[in-house]
Amino acid sequence: MRVIDLSGKIKKGIWLYGDVYPEFHPRRIQVAKNTYFCDVFDGFSSHTGTYLETTAHFNGYEGNPLLQDIDIKELVDIPCYVIHLDPLRFGRPNSPISAADLNQAAGGADFAPNSAILFSCGWENWDSGDFLDDSPYLTRSAIQWLLSWEPKIIGSDIPAWQGPAEEDVFEIFSKHNSLLLAPLVNLKDAPISGGRLTVLTPNLTDTCCAPARAVLTAEE
């Protein structure tokens, strides 16, 4: 069995979603003299690294699903499909992705409801200072196309799903029940179909989003 780690490494200097987020700064402390060491993660937010979020991030917490409302069984061993876009075209800075682009890359495949649909652009700039600002993004038609399959989870290797001219991408997403998993790494190694996705977060309460460890398993 192949096991593919889809979560990016969290370390000092990791990219941020703008100045409103504190910089991630791990520091080691000594609990007792010469024994018992541990680490404190200053600046660790719900959007540090790869994360899983609900639509409450856009709709507000009142009356909307939070991570604590999701049965953990729904996040384990999910049927997973991976759409591989051409990295020479879509792995370039600020590349828009349309529904036609996704459909063509998917080869006209059908996706089962309540599955995970991930798409790979070849955006492998996790450690770059321009990882967020230069990110490819979805057009309005692309997010509509993804959500039309009624997936449990949508995810990608891009950190910025909404471009400067596509101001309603998240508004469209917020009206559905899907979860968003991003940004991911190692998607280029993932099979198109037949994989199973497991996504686990810390058992936090009263939050719409948390850092996640996402693992894709597939037969050799």
Architecture of domain 2-218 in this structure: 3-Layer(bba) Sandwich (3.50)
Distance CA 155, CA 20 (A): 24
List Cβ neighbours of 69 (8 Å cut-off, separation of 6 or more).
54
The answer, yes or no, to whether residue 165 has pLDDT greater than 90, is: no
| Confidence check: pLDDT of 33 > 90 | no
* Domains of the chain, residue spans: 2-218
The 3-state secondary structure of 91-151 reads: CCCCCEECHHHHHHHHCCCCCCCCCEEEEECCCCCCCCCCCCCCCCEECHHHHHHHHCCCC
The pLDDT tens digits of the residues spanning 41-66 come to 999 999 999 999 999 999 999 999 99
Sign, Cα dihedral of 53, 150, 199, 66: positive
**Cα–Cα distance measured from residue 12 to residue 142, given in angstroms and rounded to the nearest whole number:** 33
Q: Is the pLDDT of residue 108 over 90?
A: no
- Average pLDDT on 28-43 reads 88
- Separation between Cα atoms, residue 117 and residue 11, nearest integer Å: 27
pLDDT on residue 195: 96
Q: How far apart are the first and last CA of the chain?
A: 5
Percentage of residues of the chain with pLDDT beyond 70: 100
Q: 115-157: per-residue pLDDT in tens?
A: 999 999 999 999 998 999 999 999 999 999 999 999 999 999 9
Cβ proximity of 55 and 69 under 8 Å: no
Distance between CA atoms of 202 and 72, rounded to whole angstroms? 11
